[in-house]
Chains A and B, each alone.
Chain A
Amino acid sequence: MQVPAPFTYERATSVEHAIQLLQRLGPEARVVAGGHSLIPMMKLRLARPDALVDINDLAELSQIRLDGDTLVIGALARHNDLLGSAVAGEHFPILIDAERVIADPVVRNFGTVGGSLCQADPSEDLAAAFAAISATAVLRGPGGTREVPVRELHVGPYETVLAPDEILVELRVPIRPGGGSAYEKVERRVGDYPVAAAGAVLWLDGDTVVDAGIGLTAVGAAHFAAPEAESALRGAPATEESFAAAARIAAEHCNPAADQRGPVDYKRHLAAELTTRALRRAAARARGQEA
Protein backbone atom coordinates (compact mmCIF):
# COMPACT_ATOMS: atom_id res chain seq x y z
CA MET A 1 0.00 0.00 0.00
CA GLN A 2 1.35 3.41 -0.94
CA VAL A 3 0.64 5.96 1.78
CA PRO A 4 2.21 9.42 2.13
CA ALA A 5 4.36 10.18 5.18
CA PRO A 6 2.50 12.10 7.89
CA PHE A 7 1.83 15.80 7.39
CA THR A 8 -0.47 18.46 8.75
CA TYR A 9 -3.36 19.60 6.62
CA GLU A 10 -4.85 23.08 6.38
CA ARG A 11 -7.59 24.30 4.13
CA ALA A 12 -7.32 27.85 2.81
CA THR A 13 -10.43 30.01 2.64
CA SER A 14 -8.91 32.78 0.49
CA VAL A 15 -5.72 33.49 -1.44
CA GLU A 16 -4.55 35.73 1.42
CA HIS A 17 -5.29 32.96 3.91
CA ALA A 18 -3.32 30.48 1.78
CA ILE A 19 -0.33 32.82 1.79
CA GLN A 20 -0.60 33.32 5.57
CA LEU A 21 -0.70 29.55 6.04
CA LEU A 22 2.36 29.07 3.82
CA GLN A 23 4.21 31.74 5.81
CA ARG A 24 3.27 30.16 9.12
CA LEU A 25 4.00 26.57 8.05
CA GLY A 26 7.38 27.37 6.50
CA PRO A 27 9.28 26.25 3.40
CA GLU A 28 8.44 22.54 3.81
CA ALA A 29 4.73 23.22 3.28
CA ARG A 30 3.23 22.71 -0.17
CA VAL A 31 0.08 23.90 -1.86
CA VAL A 32 -2.22 21.09 -2.96
CA ALA A 33 -4.84 21.66 -5.65
CA GLY A 34 -5.84 18.58 -7.67
CA GLY A 35 -2.96 16.70 -6.10
CA HIS A 36 -2.61 14.39 -9.09
CA SER A 37 1.12 15.05 -9.38
CA LEU A 38 1.95 15.83 -5.74
CA ILE A 39 0.11 12.96 -4.05
CA PRO A 40 1.72 10.23 -6.22
CA MET A 41 5.13 11.77 -5.44
CA MET A 42 4.25 11.83 -1.72
CA LYS A 43 3.23 8.18 -1.86
CA LEU A 44 6.66 7.32 -3.27
CA ARG A 45 8.38 9.67 -0.77
CA LEU A 46 9.81 11.60 -3.71
CA ALA A 47 8.09 14.55 -2.05
CA ARG A 48 7.76 14.74 1.70
CA PRO A 49 6.14 18.03 2.71
CA ASP A 50 5.51 18.73 6.41
CA ALA A 51 2.20 20.35 5.63
CA LEU A 52 -0.32 20.74 2.83
CA VAL A 53 -2.34 23.87 2.19
CA ASP A 54 -5.47 22.84 0.29
CA ILE A 55 -6.65 25.59 -2.07
CA ASN A 56 -9.56 23.67 -3.63
CA ASP A 57 -12.12 25.99 -2.03
CA LEU A 58 -10.74 29.12 -3.74
CA ALA A 59 -13.41 29.38 -6.42
CA GLU A 60 -12.06 32.77 -7.47
CA LEU A 61 -9.05 30.92 -8.94
CA SER A 62 -11.19 28.63 -11.11
CA GLN A 63 -12.39 31.11 -13.69
CA ILE A 64 -11.56 31.12 -17.39
CA ARG A 65 -12.54 34.51 -18.81
CA LEU A 66 -11.67 37.44 -21.03
CA ASP A 67 -10.27 40.60 -19.46
CA GLY A 68 -10.36 43.08 -22.34
CA ASP A 69 -8.12 41.52 -24.98
CA THR A 70 -6.46 39.12 -22.56
CA LEU A 71 -7.44 35.50 -21.93
CA VAL A 72 -7.27 34.79 -18.19
CA ILE A 73 -7.09 31.21 -16.87
CA GLY A 74 -7.32 30.71 -13.12
CA ALA A 75 -4.68 28.42 -11.63
CA LEU A 76 -7.37 26.21 -10.10
CA ALA A 77 -9.20 25.61 -13.40
CA ARG A 78 -9.46 21.85 -13.84
CA HIS A 79 -8.04 20.37 -17.03
CA ASN A 80 -11.56 19.49 -18.14
CA ASP A 81 -12.69 23.10 -17.54
CA LEU A 82 -10.03 24.35 -19.93
CA LEU A 83 -10.76 21.54 -22.41
CA GLY A 84 -14.41 22.59 -22.47
CA SER A 85 -13.82 26.34 -22.49
CA ALA A 86 -15.36 27.99 -25.55
CA VAL A 87 -13.50 31.24 -24.98
CA ALA A 88 -10.12 29.51 -24.69
CA GLY A 89 -10.89 27.38 -27.74
CA GLU A 90 -11.88 30.38 -29.83
CA HIS A 91 -8.64 32.27 -29.22
CA PHE A 92 -6.07 29.55 -28.43
CA PRO A 93 -7.05 26.14 -29.83
CA ILE A 94 -3.53 25.00 -28.88
CA LEU A 95 -4.77 24.79 -25.28
CA ILE A 96 -7.67 22.56 -26.28
CA ASP A 97 -5.39 20.35 -28.39
CA ALA A 98 -3.04 19.99 -25.41
CA GLU A 99 -5.74 19.35 -22.83
CA ARG A 100 -7.27 16.61 -24.97
CA VAL A 101 -4.06 14.58 -24.59
CA ILE A 102 -3.19 15.40 -20.97
CA ALA A 103 -3.65 12.43 -18.65
CA ASP A 104 -7.10 10.84 -19.09
CA PRO A 105 -10.68 12.13 -18.77
CA VAL A 106 -11.05 11.10 -15.12
CA VAL A 107 -7.74 12.61 -14.03
CA ARG A 108 -8.65 15.76 -15.97
CA ASN A 109 -11.69 16.16 -13.71
CA PHE A 110 -9.48 16.89 -10.73
CA GLY A 111 -6.00 17.88 -11.91
CA THR A 112 -5.52 21.62 -12.37
CA VAL A 113 -3.82 23.89 -14.87
CA GLY A 114 -1.82 25.66 -12.18
CA GLY A 115 -0.81 22.43 -10.52
CA SER A 116 0.57 21.06 -13.76
CA LEU A 117 2.67 24.18 -14.32
CA CYS A 118 3.93 24.35 -10.74
CA GLN A 119 4.87 20.68 -10.77
CA ALA A 120 7.42 21.71 -13.42
CA ASP A 121 7.77 18.23 -14.83
CA PRO A 122 10.25 18.36 -17.74
CA SER A 123 7.65 16.53 -19.86
CA GLU A 124 4.67 18.72 -18.93
CA ASP A 125 2.38 19.46 -21.90
CA LEU A 126 1.02 22.76 -20.57
CA ALA A 127 4.51 24.13 -20.00
CA ALA A 128 5.11 23.89 -23.77
CA ALA A 129 1.65 25.11 -24.72
CA PHE A 130 1.83 28.20 -22.51
CA ALA A 131 5.46 28.83 -23.53
CA ALA A 132 4.41 28.76 -27.19
CA ILE A 133 1.78 31.44 -26.67
CA SER A 134 4.04 33.46 -24.34
CA ALA A 135 1.62 33.47 -21.44
CA THR A 136 2.34 35.39 -18.27
CA ALA A 137 2.04 33.76 -14.85
CA VAL A 138 0.61 35.90 -12.06
CA LEU A 139 2.08 35.03 -8.66
CA ARG A 140 0.90 36.34 -5.32
CA GLY A 141 2.83 36.36 -2.06
CA PRO A 142 3.04 38.36 1.17
CA GLY A 143 4.58 41.31 -0.70
CA GLY A 144 1.82 41.46 -3.30
CA THR A 145 1.48 40.34 -6.89
CA ARG A 146 4.16 39.90 -9.54
CA GLU A 147 4.04 38.77 -13.15
CA VAL A 148 6.52 36.28 -14.60
CA PRO A 149 6.60 35.12 -18.22
CA VAL A 150 5.83 31.38 -18.31
CA ARG A 151 9.12 30.96 -20.17
CA GLU A 152 10.85 32.14 -16.97
CA LEU A 153 8.62 30.25 -14.52
CA HIS A 154 10.62 27.02 -14.59
CA VAL A 155 14.21 27.04 -13.42
CA GLY A 156 14.80 23.30 -13.77
CA PRO A 157 13.11 19.93 -13.41
CA TYR A 158 10.44 20.17 -10.67
CA GLU A 159 11.66 23.67 -9.78
CA THR A 160 9.98 27.02 -10.31
CA VAL A 161 10.71 30.64 -9.39
CA LEU A 162 7.87 30.62 -6.86
CA ALA A 163 8.95 31.48 -3.33
CA PRO A 164 7.74 29.04 -0.63
CA ASP A 165 5.03 31.51 0.41
CA GLU A 166 3.92 32.45 -3.10
CA ILE A 167 1.12 30.89 -5.09
CA LEU A 168 0.30 30.93 -8.79
CA VAL A 169 -3.08 32.63 -9.14
CA GLU A 170 -3.66 32.87 -12.88
CA LEU A 171 -2.25 32.81 -16.40
CA ARG A 172 -2.73 35.71 -18.76
CA VAL A 173 -2.40 35.52 -22.53
CA PRO A 174 -2.76 38.59 -24.75
CA ILE A 175 -5.04 38.02 -27.74
CA ARG A 176 -3.76 39.39 -31.05
CA PRO A 177 -5.71 39.25 -34.32
CA GLY A 178 -4.61 37.05 -37.21
CA GLY A 179 -3.34 34.20 -35.09
CA GLY A 180 -3.69 30.43 -35.21
CA SER A 181 -2.28 27.78 -32.90
CA ALA A 182 -2.02 24.00 -32.48
CA TYR A 183 -0.43 21.29 -30.35
CA GLU A 184 0.90 17.90 -31.46
CA LYS A 185 1.95 15.08 -29.15
CA VAL A 186 3.15 11.52 -29.46
CA GLU A 187 2.42 9.39 -26.40
CA ARG A 188 2.86 5.66 -25.91
CA ARG A 189 -0.61 5.20 -24.43
CA VAL A 190 -3.50 7.27 -23.14
CA GLY A 191 -2.60 9.21 -20.03
CA ASP A 192 1.15 9.02 -20.44
CA TYR A 193 3.58 11.88 -20.60
CA PRO A 194 4.70 12.62 -24.14
CA VAL A 195 7.59 10.93 -25.89
CA ALA A 196 7.80 14.40 -27.42
CA ALA A 197 5.35 17.21 -28.10
CA ALA A 198 5.33 20.58 -29.82
CA GLY A 199 3.02 23.55 -29.79
CA ALA A 200 2.99 26.43 -32.23
CA VAL A 201 1.29 29.76 -32.72
CA LEU A 202 1.54 31.86 -35.88
CA TRP A 203 0.34 35.32 -36.76
CA LEU A 204 0.02 35.83 -40.48
CA ASP A 205 -0.29 38.86 -42.72
CA GLY A 206 -1.44 37.29 -45.97
CA ASP A 207 1.13 34.59 -46.59
CA THR A 208 3.85 36.12 -44.47
CA VAL A 209 4.61 35.13 -40.91
CA VAL A 210 4.44 38.24 -38.75
CA ASP A 211 5.22 36.47 -35.50
CA ALA A 212 5.60 32.92 -34.26
CA GLY A 213 5.82 31.02 -30.99
CA ILE A 214 7.05 27.44 -30.57
CA GLY A 215 6.92 25.36 -27.41
CA LEU A 216 8.52 21.94 -26.95
CA THR A 217 8.33 19.46 -24.10
CA ALA A 218 10.03 16.22 -23.10
CA VAL A 219 12.98 16.97 -25.38
CA GLY A 220 15.14 19.14 -23.10
CA ALA A 221 14.33 22.46 -24.77
CA ALA A 222 15.48 25.37 -22.61
CA HIS A 223 12.43 27.13 -21.11
CA PHE A 224 10.20 24.74 -23.13
CA ALA A 225 10.66 27.07 -26.12
CA ALA A 226 12.46 27.31 -29.45
CA PRO A 227 13.41 31.00 -29.84
CA GLU A 228 15.91 30.35 -32.68
CA ALA A 229 13.21 28.68 -34.76
CA GLU A 230 10.78 31.51 -33.97
CA SER A 231 13.34 34.06 -35.23
CA ALA A 232 13.78 32.10 -38.44
CA LEU A 233 10.04 32.22 -39.08
CA ARG A 234 9.48 35.96 -38.54
CA GLY A 235 9.13 37.58 -41.92
CA ALA A 236 9.35 34.27 -43.76
CA PRO A 237 6.65 33.03 -46.14
CA ALA A 238 4.13 30.74 -44.43
CA THR A 239 5.06 27.69 -46.47
CA GLU A 240 5.88 24.04 -45.86
CA GLU A 241 9.54 24.83 -46.58
CA SER A 242 9.67 27.54 -43.92
CA PHE A 243 7.95 25.29 -41.40
CA ALA A 244 10.32 22.39 -42.08
CA ALA A 245 13.35 24.67 -41.82
CA ALA A 246 12.17 26.14 -38.53
CA ALA A 247 11.39 22.66 -37.20
CA ARG A 248 14.93 21.51 -38.04
CA ILE A 249 16.32 24.47 -36.09
CA ALA A 250 14.05 23.68 -33.14
CA ALA A 251 15.17 20.05 -33.13
CA GLU A 252 18.86 21.01 -33.34
CA HIS A 253 18.56 23.26 -30.30
CA CYS A 254 16.77 20.80 -28.05
CA ASN A 255 18.58 18.31 -25.85
CA PRO A 256 16.56 15.11 -25.40
CA ALA A 257 17.63 12.36 -23.03
CA ALA A 258 17.25 8.65 -23.74
CA ASP A 259 14.81 6.93 -21.39
CA GLN A 260 12.10 4.29 -21.40
CA ARG A 261 10.09 6.45 -23.82
CA GLY A 262 12.72 6.37 -26.53
CA PRO A 263 16.28 7.06 -27.70
CA VAL A 264 17.71 10.51 -28.40
CA ASP A 265 17.59 10.35 -32.20
CA TYR A 266 13.93 9.29 -32.19
CA LYS A 267 12.97 12.12 -29.84
CA ARG A 268 14.87 14.64 -31.92
CA HIS A 269 13.13 13.34 -35.03
CA LEU A 270 9.79 13.76 -33.26
CA ALA A 271 10.68 17.30 -32.16
CA ALA A 272 11.15 18.29 -35.80
CA GLU A 273 8.18 16.38 -37.16
CA LEU A 274 5.75 17.53 -34.46
CA THR A 275 6.92 21.15 -34.77
CA THR A 276 6.25 20.96 -38.52
CA ARG A 277 2.77 19.51 -37.96
CA ALA A 278 1.93 22.08 -35.28
CA LEU A 279 3.06 24.95 -37.53
CA ARG A 280 1.05 23.52 -40.44
CA ARG A 281 -2.14 23.32 -38.38
CA ALA A 282 -1.53 26.70 -36.75
CA ALA A 283 -1.20 28.29 -40.20
CA ALA A 284 -4.38 26.64 -41.42
CA ARG A 285 -6.25 27.92 -38.39
CA ALA A 286 -4.81 31.42 -38.84
CA ARG A 287 -6.26 31.30 -42.36
CA GLY A 288 -9.63 30.31 -40.96
CA GLN A 289 -9.41 26.70 -42.11
CA GLU A 290 -9.93 24.00 -39.53
CA ALA A 291 -7.14 21.48 -39.73
Chain B
Amino acid sequence: MQVTITVNGTAQTKEVEPRLLLVHFLRETLGLRGTHWGCDTSNCGTCVVSFDGRPVKSCTILAAMADGHEIRTVEGLEQGGQLDAVQQGFMECHGLQCGFCTPGMMMTARALLDRSPDPSETEIREAISGQLCRCTGYENIVRSVRWAAEKEAEGSSDETEKPAVTPEEVSA
Protein backbone atom coordinates (compact mmCIF):
# COMPACT_ATOMS: atom_id res chain seq x y z
CA MET B 1 0.00 0.00 0.00
CA GLN B 2 1.07 3.59 -0.55
CA VAL B 3 1.37 6.03 2.35
CA THR B 4 2.18 9.72 2.47
CA ILE B 5 3.54 10.75 5.83
CA THR B 6 4.89 14.21 6.54
CA VAL B 7 8.15 13.70 8.42
CA ASN B 8 9.91 16.76 9.82
CA GLY B 9 7.96 18.96 7.41
CA THR B 10 8.61 16.93 4.24
CA ALA B 11 5.88 14.78 2.68
CA GLN B 12 7.24 11.25 2.13
CA THR B 13 5.30 8.98 -0.23
CA LYS B 14 6.39 5.35 -0.02
CA GLU B 15 5.15 1.88 -0.81
CA VAL B 16 4.94 -0.11 2.43
CA GLU B 17 3.57 -3.37 3.79
CA PRO B 18 0.56 -2.77 6.06
CA ARG B 19 2.41 -4.53 8.88
CA LEU B 20 5.38 -2.14 8.77
CA LEU B 21 5.74 -0.36 12.10
CA LEU B 22 6.26 3.38 12.16
CA VAL B 23 9.65 3.04 13.89
CA HIS B 24 10.93 0.88 11.03
CA PHE B 25 9.40 3.19 8.42
CA LEU B 26 11.44 6.02 9.93
CA ARG B 27 14.66 4.07 10.43
CA GLU B 28 14.71 1.71 7.44
CA THR B 29 12.48 3.20 4.75
CA LEU B 30 13.59 6.80 5.33
CA GLY B 31 16.99 6.12 6.90
CA LEU B 32 16.30 8.37 9.87
CA ARG B 33 18.20 6.44 12.53
CA GLY B 34 17.84 9.11 15.18
CA THR B 35 14.65 7.45 16.41
CA HIS B 36 15.87 4.46 18.38
CA TRP B 37 14.28 1.05 18.41
CA GLY B 38 14.39 -0.51 21.85
CA CYS B 39 12.14 -2.90 23.70
CA ASP B 40 9.57 -3.33 20.91
CA THR B 41 6.86 -3.64 23.58
CA SER B 42 5.91 0.03 24.22
CA ASN B 43 7.68 -0.02 27.58
CA CYS B 44 11.02 1.72 27.12
CA GLY B 45 10.05 4.83 25.13
CA THR B 46 13.23 5.33 23.16
CA CYS B 47 11.15 5.18 19.95
CA VAL B 48 9.00 8.19 20.94
CA VAL B 49 8.20 10.56 18.09
CA SER B 50 5.69 13.36 17.80
CA PHE B 51 2.45 12.37 16.02
CA ASP B 52 0.42 15.47 15.14
CA GLY B 53 2.13 17.18 18.08
CA ARG B 54 1.64 14.43 20.67
CA PRO B 55 4.47 12.11 21.73
CA VAL B 56 3.73 8.47 20.87
CA LYS B 57 5.64 5.18 20.89
CA SER B 58 6.41 4.44 17.24
CA CYS B 59 7.05 0.72 17.84
CA THR B 60 3.35 0.26 18.52
CA ILE B 61 1.89 2.25 15.62
CA LEU B 62 1.71 1.04 12.03
CA ALA B 63 3.15 3.26 9.32
CA ALA B 64 -0.25 2.81 7.66
CA MET B 65 -1.91 4.48 10.66
CA ALA B 66 0.37 7.51 10.19
CA ASP B 67 -0.72 7.97 6.55
CA GLY B 68 -1.80 11.59 6.16
CA HIS B 69 -0.35 12.62 9.52
CA GLU B 70 2.60 14.72 10.66
CA ILE B 71 5.53 13.05 12.36
CA ARG B 72 8.42 14.87 13.96
CA THR B 73 11.53 12.97 14.93
CA VAL B 74 14.64 13.93 16.84
CA GLU B 75 16.20 14.95 13.51
CA GLY B 76 13.49 17.60 13.26
CA LEU B 77 14.32 19.28 16.56
CA GLU B 78 17.12 21.38 15.11
CA GLN B 79 15.71 24.40 13.27
CA GLY B 80 17.68 26.57 10.84
CA GLY B 81 21.04 25.32 12.04
CA GLN B 82 20.19 25.97 15.69
CA LEU B 83 19.80 23.19 18.19
CA ASP B 84 16.51 23.13 20.05
CA ALA B 85 16.67 24.33 23.65
CA VAL B 86 15.97 20.76 24.76
CA GLN B 87 19.01 19.49 22.86
CA GLN B 88 21.13 22.27 24.37
CA GLY B 89 19.80 21.41 27.83
CA PHE B 90 20.81 17.76 27.46
CA MET B 91 24.33 18.93 26.54
CA GLU B 92 24.63 21.54 29.25
CA CYS B 93 23.31 19.33 32.06
CA HIS B 94 24.81 16.01 30.95
CA GLY B 95 21.33 14.62 30.24
CA LEU B 96 22.70 11.55 28.54
CA GLN B 97 25.23 8.89 29.36
CA CYS B 98 25.01 6.05 26.83
CA GLY B 99 22.49 8.06 24.79
CA PHE B 100 20.15 5.23 23.94
CA CYS B 101 17.04 6.71 25.59
CA THR B 102 17.92 10.27 24.56
CA PRO B 103 15.87 10.71 21.35
CA GLY B 104 12.68 9.59 23.06
CA MET B 105 13.40 11.62 26.17
CA MET B 106 14.00 14.74 24.10
CA MET B 107 10.84 14.31 22.01
CA THR B 108 8.73 13.90 25.14
CA ALA B 109 10.46 16.89 26.74
CA ARG B 110 9.80 19.02 23.65
CA ALA B 111 6.08 18.12 23.72
CA LEU B 112 5.94 18.83 27.47
CA LEU B 113 7.47 22.29 27.06
CA ASP B 114 5.15 23.08 24.14
CA ARG B 115 2.19 22.33 26.39
CA SER B 116 3.61 23.52 29.70
CA PRO B 117 6.54 25.97 29.28
CA ASP B 118 7.43 26.08 33.00
CA PRO B 119 7.04 22.50 34.26
CA SER B 120 7.81 21.53 37.84
CA GLU B 121 10.17 18.66 38.58
CA THR B 122 7.12 16.53 39.36
CA GLU B 123 5.56 17.34 35.98
CA ILE B 124 8.77 16.44 34.18
CA ARG B 125 9.08 13.15 36.06
CA GLU B 126 5.44 12.35 35.28
CA ALA B 127 5.92 13.19 31.58
CA ILE B 128 8.88 10.80 31.21
CA SER B 129 7.46 8.11 33.49
CA GLY B 130 6.82 5.81 30.53
CA GLN B 131 10.45 5.95 29.42
CA LEU B 132 13.47 4.13 30.74
CA CYS B 133 17.04 5.33 31.16
CA ARG B 134 19.10 2.24 31.88
CA CYS B 135 22.00 4.43 32.94
CA THR B 136 19.53 5.67 35.58
CA GLY B 137 20.44 9.24 34.66
CA TYR B 138 17.04 10.65 35.51
CA GLU B 139 18.32 13.45 37.74
CA ASN B 140 20.25 15.00 34.89
CA ILE B 141 17.43 14.43 32.41
CA VAL B 142 15.10 16.40 34.68
CA ARG B 143 17.73 19.12 35.06
CA SER B 144 18.17 19.24 31.29
CA VAL B 145 14.47 19.81 30.71
CA ARG B 146 14.40 22.51 33.39
CA TRP B 147 17.42 24.14 31.74
CA ALA B 148 15.55 24.18 28.42
CA ALA B 149 12.46 25.67 30.06
CA GLU B 150 14.51 28.45 31.62
CA LYS B 151 16.40 29.04 28.38
CA GLU B 152 13.15 29.42 26.46
CA ALA B 153 11.71 31.70 29.13
CA GLU B 154 14.77 33.95 28.76
CA GLY B 155 14.47 33.76 24.97
CA SER B 156 10.84 34.86 24.99
CA SER B 157 11.69 37.86 27.21
CA ASP B 158 14.69 38.76 25.05
CA GLU B 159 14.14 37.71 21.43
CA THR B 160 17.55 38.98 20.32
CA GLU B 161 19.47 36.51 22.41
CA LYS B 162 20.75 33.57 20.39
CA PRO B 163 21.39 30.10 21.78
CA ALA B 164 25.03 29.59 22.61
CA VAL B 165 25.51 26.19 20.98
CA THR B 166 25.36 25.40 17.26
CA PRO B 167 25.31 21.97 15.58
CA GLU B 168 28.79 22.60 14.17
CA GLU B 169 30.19 23.00 17.65
CA VAL B 170 28.52 19.76 18.69
CA SER B 171 30.07 17.70 15.92
CA ALA B 172 33.46 19.38 16.34
Name the one of A9, A40, A56, A106 contacting B18, with C-beta atoms under 8 angstroms.
A9
Q: How many A-B contacts if CB must be within 8 Å?
A: 83
Interface residues in A105-133 by Cβ distance below 8 A to B read: 105-107, 109-110
A110 touches B130 (CB 8 A): no
A52 touches B55 (CB 8 A): no
Which residues of B9-60 have CB atoms within 8 Å of chain A's CB atoms?
17-19, 21, 24, 40-43, 45, 48, 51, 54-57, 60
B73 interface residue per 8 A CB criterion: no
In chain A, positions 171-198 with a C-beta closer than 8 Å to chain B are 190-191
Q: Using Cβ atoms and an 8 Å threshold, which residues of chain A touch B130?
A: 103-107, 190-191
**Chain B contacts for A3, CB-based, 8 A:** 19, 21
Do B64 and A110 have beta carbons less than 8 Å apart? no
Chain B positions within 8 Å of A106 at CB level? 45, 48, 55-57, 108, 130-131
In the docked arrangement, what's the CA distance between A109 and B129, Å?
Answer: 13
- Fill in one digit per residue for B65-102: 1 if any A CB lies within 8 Å of its CB, else 0: 10100000000000000000000000000000000000
Within 8 Å of chain B (Cβ to Cβ): is A6? yes
The 0/1 profile, CB within 8 Å of B marked 1, for residues 23-50 of chain A is 0000000001001100110110000000
B172 interface hit (Cβ, 8 Å): no
Check A291 for interface membership: any CB of B closer than 8 A: no
Cβ contact within 8 Å between B131 and A8: no
- B62 in contact with A5 (CB, 8 Å): no
Confirm or deny: B164 has a beta carbon within 8 angstroms of a beta carbon on chain A.
no
A107, B108: Cα distance in complex, Å: 12
Specify which chain A residues have a CB less than 8 angstroms from the CB of B42 in the assembled complex. Answer: 36, 40, 107
A54 to B42, CA, bound (A): 20
Query: Can you list, as one digit per residue, whether each of B129-143 has a CB less than 8 Å from chain A (1) or not (0)?
Result: 111000000000000
CA distance A1 to B47 in the complex (A): 14
B1 at the A/B interface (Cβ < 8 Å)? yes
CB <8 Å contact, B126 and A110: no
Please, which residues of chain A bring their CB within 8 A of the CB of B113? none
Instruction: Say how far B147's CB is from chain A's closest CB, in angstroms.
Output: 21
List of A residues within 8 angstroms of B129 by Cβ:
104-105, 190-191
A4 partner, pick from B19, B51, B54, beta carbons under 8 A: B19
CA distance A118 to B21 in the complex (A): 22
A4, A32, A40: the one contacting B65 at CB < 8 Å is A32
B60 touches A5 (CB 8 A): no
B51 touches A110 (CB 8 A): yes
- A7 an interface residue at 8 Å Cβ cutoff? yes
Smallest Cβ distance from A18 to chain B, in angstroms? 15
* Contact A39 B67, beta carbon cutoff 8 Å: no
Expressed in whole angstroms, the minimum distance between the Cβ of A32 and any Cβ of chain B is: 7
Cβ-neighbour of B19 out of A5, A56, A80, A105 (below 8 A):
A5
- Judge whether A109 and B60 touch: CB under 8 Å: no
Contacts of A39 in B (CB 8 A): 21, 60-62
Contacts of A6 in B (CB 8 A): 17-19
- Per-residue CB contact flags for chain A residues 76-112 toward chain B (1 = under 8 Å, else 0) read 0000100000000000000000000001111101100
CA of A183 to CA of B55 in the docked complex: distance in angstroms? 26
In the complex, whether A234 has a CB less than 8 A from a CB of chain B is: no
Distance from B163 Cβ to chain A, minimum over Cβ atoms (Å): 27
| 28 residue pairs A–B, Cβ–Cβ below 8 Å | A1-B40, A6-B19, A8-B18, A11-B64, A32-B62, A32-B65, A35-B61, A35-B65, A36-B42, A39-B61, A40-B41, A40-B42, A40-B60, A54-B64, A104-B130, A105-B126, A105-B127, A105-B129, A106-B56, A106-B130, A106-B131, A107-B42, A109-B54, A109-B55, A110-B54, A110-B61, A191-B129, A191-B130
Q: Which residues of A contact B (CB under 8 A)?
A: 1-9, 11, 32, 35-36, 39-40, 42-43, 52, 54, 56, 80, 103-107, 109-110, 190-191
Beyond A6-B19, A103-B130, A106-B45, 8 additional contacts (C-beta under 8 Å) are A7-B19, A35-B61, A40-B42, A40-B60, A54-B64, A104-B130, A106-B55, A107-B60
Q: Closest 6 CB pairs between A and B?
A: A104-B130, A9-B18, A109-B54, A190-B129, A4-B19, A106-B130
